[in-house]
Each structure stands twice: as C-alpha cells, then as structure tokens.
Amino acid sequence: MSHTAHIPSHRKPRRSASKLAVRAGVAGGVLSTLAMAGTASATPSSPEPVAETTLEMPVLDLNLGAEVSSAVNTAAENTRVAAVEAAVTGELNAQEESARTGAAAEAKQAKEDATKAAEQKAKQEADRKAEAERATRGAGRTSLTNASASDDSGFTSNGSGSGSTSTGSSSKATGSAAAIVNFARAQIGKAYVMGATGSSAYDCSGLVQAAYRQAGISLDRTSQDQSLAGSSVSLSNLQPGDILYWGPKGSAYHVAIYVGGGKFVGAQNPSTGIVERNLSYDMPTGAVRVL
C-alpha cells in the first residue's frame, strides 16, 4: 500500500453531466429573454407626447432670526413699560396717601389752633369784663355808700318833703311785687346755667323773666333789653320787685331783682348759682321799675 493512500484527495469532485445540462438550459433561457427585450426596445413607436407642467413655488424670503429678535425686543419693551407704569402708579398712590395724611394733620392742627385762639379770646374778654365790673363797682360804692348803709340798717323814711321813699321804706312786698319776690327767693340754691330759663337752672335774665311771669308780665329775654324796661328809678328809691342792672343802660351785662331790705336775688354765676345778697356786695349801676 502506498504511504499516501490514507490522505484524502484535494481534487474537486467532478460534476455530473445532468447538472451541467440543467444549468446550460437556464442560462440559455435568460439570454434569450434578454435578446427579445432588446429587440422590443429598439423598435420605434409613436406614443402621444406628454405635456409637462412646471409649477413655480413661491420664493419665501424670511429672516426668521430677525423676526424672533424683534418679537423678543418687543416683549422686553412691553415688560419694561409695564414695570415703569407700575412704579409710577405706586409712586403716585404713595404721594396721594401722603398728601391726604398731611392734609388731615394740617386740618387737625388748624382746628386745635383755632380752639386755642377762641379760648384765649374768651379768657381775654372775660378778664376785660371782670375789670370793667370792678371799675363800675368801685365807682358805685364811692357814690352810693350812704344809700347802701341806709338799706342795710333798714331805715324806713328819709323824712324829706318830696315824698320820695328810701330804699328800705317798702321792705315788705305786696300784690304783684310779692309774687315776683316770693318766686325769686324760692329759686335760691338752684344752678346758674348760661341760657337757662328754668325750672332747675337759670341765667340772670332768665330768672328775672320767669319771676315777672308770675305777675303776668312778659319781659324781653336779655339783660340789655330788660335794663330798658319800665322807667328808671334811683338806687336810693328802690321798691321790692324793681329790676337792678349792671353795666350801661341798654347794654347791661347782668340783672337781678330787688327784694327789699337792701337785698337782691340774682343768678350770679356758675360757682354761686342763685343767691340773695346785700346791695353792698355788688352795687348795681341802676334800676328800672316795671310794676
């Protein structure tokens, strides 16, 4: 045996004749088909021409970057304007509130100043009136000392041939005078209130008016008018029921009722109320007689 007999042969196996025949037939069919197709394509034909349509597309010349930038700038400007408007509105509101607060403070201060000025003016007027009263009283005391002394002692007659009567000659009231005097004395101890006309409080002219009403006599309301009522009488010839006044006739600032015995009843002031006093306590300026 050959020493190479066990090594397989590397030669390709031979193909059978049948397989070669099949492959040759397939190849021939393919070539025949291709030849026929070429002949058909070479034959001229006259198909109808096809009309070609050309569509022109619009040319868009858009700068998207510029558009976006413009939109961004517009939005930024709108935001800035809105912020400025908000700031301005806030500032205006703050200024308006400040103005209102300042005006209220100024009005309050003006009111306080006006009140203080009015109070100061009232005090000055009261001081002036008190000074005038003191001056009038001093003059009255000097000129009528004898008359007041006669009233306080209760003298009944001066014995003069003129028929005039001293202040104490009719110390006891009768008739309408009694009604006036009794009413006035019944109010002693009640309060003095400016503008009051009874029944729990009076001012000076309110008391005189109410007392005369008891006698069916209607008097004017104020001290000035009451000092002009009836006829003037001398302080040395007073009778119960006569109206005493302080200050100039027609401009009197106080009135009271003479009750006899050198005394009067009057609504003096808020601190004393309605009291009975001697004429020497506060000498009146004059007197009038209505009865």
Q: Token digits for 222?
A: 């104020």
Range name among 83-92, 143-152, 153-162 with the lowest pLDDT average: 153-162
The pLDDT assigned to 18 comes to 55
More confident residue, 37 or 290: 290
287 and 247 Cβ atoms separated by less than 8 Å: no
User: Which amino acid makes up residue 159?
Assistant: G
Helix (H) or strand (E) holding 42: helix 17-42
* Cα–Cα dist 1/22, whole Å: 40
Does residue 286 have a pLDDT over 80? yes
Domain membership flag for residue 99: no
Does residue 225 sit within a domain? yes
Tens digit of pLDDT for each residue in 239-278? 999 999 999 999 999 999 999 999 999 999 999 999 999 9
pLDDT attached to residue 3:
55
- In-domain check, residue 209: yes
Tens digit of pLDDT for each residue in 98-142? 777 877 888 888 888 877 777 777 766 766 666 666 555 554 444
Phi, psi of 37 (to 5 degrees): -65, -40
Give CA–CA dist 275/185, Å, rounded: 8
Is the bond leading into 199 cis (omega within 30 degrees of zero)? yes
CATH number at residue 194: 3.90.1720.10
| Domain assignment of residue 94, yes or no | no
Q: Is residue 169 part of a domain?
A: yes
Strand pairing partners for 232?
288
pLDDT tier for residue 63 given thresholds of 50, 70 and 90: low
Residue with tokens 């006669």: 150
Interval 35-53: pLDDT, tens: 565 555 545 555 555 555 5
Please choose, from the candidates 72, 95, 92, 74, the residue with its C-alpha nearest in 3D space to the C-alpha of residue 84: 92
pLDDT for position 162: 32
Domain that holds residue 267: 144-289
The residue with tokens 């301005």 is 88
Residues 6 or more apart whose CB falls under 8 angstroms from that of 192 comprise 201, 202, 203, 204, 267, 268, 269, 270, 272, 273, 274
pLDDT in tens, 162-219: 333 344 444 577 889 999 999 999 999 999 999 999 899 999 999 999 999 999 999 9
Conformational region of residue 239, where left means phi above 0, alpha means psi within -120 to 50, and beta covers everything else:
beta
Query: What is the spatial distance between Cα 96 and Cα 277, in angstroms, rounded to a whole number?
Result: 64
Work out how many domains the chain is built from and give that number. Answer: 1
Q: Cα(220)–Cα(197) distance, rounded to whole angstroms?
A: 12
pLDDT value at position 148?
A: 40
Q: What percent of the chain stands above pLDDT 70? A: 61
Whether 185 is in a domain gets the answer: yes
| In the block, residue with structure tokens 């009975």 | 276
pLDDT of residue 68: 72
pLDDT of 159 reads 32
- Which helix (H) or strand (E) segment holds residue 81: the answer is helix 64-143
pLDDT in the model for residue 225: 96
Residue 20's SS3 state is helix
Look up residue 243 and give its DSSP letter: E
Higher pLDDT, 145 or 61: 61
Q: What would the DSSP string read from start to end of 144-168? A: SHHHHHHHHHT------TT----TT
The answer to whether residue 87 is domain-embedded is no
Res 91: pLDDT: 79
Domain contains 280: yes
The pLDDT assigned to 48 comes to 58
